[in-house]
Every structure is written in structure tokens, then in C-alpha cells.
Amino acid sequence: MHTPKHFEETRIEVLHELIRRQSLATLIVMGSKGLNANHIPLHLSAAPGSLGTLRGHVSRSNPVWKDFDPAVLALAIFSGPDAYISPNWYATKKETGQAVPTWNYVVAHAYGRLRAIEDPVWLRAHVDELTGHKESAFPEPWTTKDAPADYIARLLGGIVGLEMEVSRIEGKWKVSQNQPDANRKGVIAALESTGDGRALDMAALVRQRG
């Protein structure tokens, strides 16, 4: 990923926060027919490994769990807020006309060696951990104990786990840091005026990084 220094994010805690908030990853592996991309929720655990470990699962009918080259690092991409940025929002456009459109976005790339796991004990623990993390925000969290045991066992038999200890992680926060203060203020005001959730998230990031 091309990342100019002013857009680079290297703080592990910031990258991990994005991964935990935006858990749906684009998982890219090298398969028998070339690059293969799947969209899979991946849960981040702090250990093992200094950069954490990603765990997820796929249906047994998805060939990715047995069609990937273990010698080639897998890549998991986690995308945060993004927004189109119009040059009309820049104060300098009114002064010089020298402005062009761009796109602001936040992204983390995690690399590591992928392995497939069929162990039912591991799968049950993984599903409990994943749902526990996501359900914790609700007043009445759902757990696997809310469903019939034979039903859960049958569904667990239809999935395969994926685990990747992160060996490298990169982050890019392109949120108008390269613009003068007047331009950033124009971007924030325009994004906030839309009322759109992702635009509001981006406006907050521009303000934070400014």
C-alpha cells in the first residue's frame, strides 16, 4: 500500500481499534487460480503474537479454507469511514482555483500466514467469543445457549475456522492532513451538512487529525 508519511498510522492500538470496530475484512489469499478475495468477519485477539491474531470462519462449501497457498502471506483489509471530497469545499479553490477532487479514507492491512481449523472445540470457543464481543452492546445479548444444542452442533459441523497470526500491519489515515487549516474547516463543515453517518465519522476524523 502506498502510504505517504503524513497519512501513515503506525500505532498498534489505533489499528487494533479500527479492526475491532470494522470487523468485516476482505481476506485475500493466493489460490490455485490466482488471487482469491472473500469478505469475512474476523475477530481480533490480543494474543498470541505481538500484533495479535485474527480468527474467523467460513462455510465448508467455501473452497478458500482448502485452496490457499500457506507459503504466501494472506492479507486482511479492514476499511473504516470514507468520503468523497469536493474541491468546492476548499478555501484555496476560491482564491486560486488550484484544487481537485479527492477521496478521504481510513484502512488497515494485516498480513500473516493463514491456517484452517476443523476442531469442533476450537470452533465452539471461536463462535462464542465472536458473538460475545458483538452482542455485548445489546441490552439482552444472544448466546449460543439460546438455541437448541443439536441445532448449534449441526451448524458448527458446517463451518471451518480460519486463523491468522498477524506478522505485519499497516495503516493509512487519509483525512485531509495535507490541507491547510481553512481547507480542513471547509471539509468538516461540508461533510457535517450532509447528515450522513459515514460523512459525520469522516468529519470527526478530519477534526481530530487537524
- For the stretch 45-83, pLDDT in tens is 987 888 999 999 999 999 999 999 999 999 999 999 999
Residues 115-140 pLDDT 10s: 999 999 999 999 999 999 999 999 99
SS3 string of the chain?
A: CCCCHHHEECCHHHHHHHHHHCCEEEEEEEECCEEEEEEEECEEECCCCCCCEEEEEEECCCHHHCCCCCCCCEEEEEEEEEEEECHHHCHHHHHHCCCCCEEEEEEEEEEEEEEEECCHHHHHHHHHHHHHHHHCCCCCCCCHHHCCHHHHHHHHCCEEEEEEEEEEEEEEEECCCCCCHHHHHHHHHHHHHHCCHHHHHHHHHHHHHC
pLDDT over 90, % of the chain = 91
**pLDDT at residue 210 greater than cutoff 80:** no
Q: Is 195 inside any structural domain?
A: no
Residue 32 lies in a domain: yes
Is 140 contained in some domain? yes
Residue 186 banded pLDDT, cuts 50, 70, 90? very high
CATH number at residue 133: 2.30.110.10
Domain of 46 in residue numbering reads as 5-84+101-178
When pLDDT is cut at 50, 70 and 90, the band that residue 93 belongs to is: confident
Q: What is the pLDDT of residue 77?
A: 98
pLDDT score of 185? 97
Number of domains in the chain: 1
Q: Report yes or no on whether pTM surpasses 0.85.
A: yes
Cβ-contact 193, 92 below 8 angstroms: no
User: Cα(35)–Cα(17) distance, rounded to whole angstroms?
Assistant: 28
Q: Which residues contact 209 (CB under 8 A, 6 or more apart)?
A: 173, 175, 176, 177
Looking at every residue in the chain, the average pLDDT score rounds to 95
Task: Give me the pLDDT at residue 209, please.
Answer: 86
Let me know if residue 209 belongs to a domain.
no
- The answer as to whether 53 is a domain residue is yes
Let me know if residue 164 belongs to a domain. Answer: yes
Domain-located, residue 95 = no
- Asked if residue 187 belongs to a domain, the reply is no
Mean pLDDT of 165-189: 97
Confidence (pLDDT) at 49: 82
* Structure confidence at residue 95 (pLDDT): 85
Closest CA to 76 of 34, 125, 51, 41: 41
CA dist., res. 210 & res. 198, Å (int): 18
- Mean pLDDT value of segment 142-148: 93
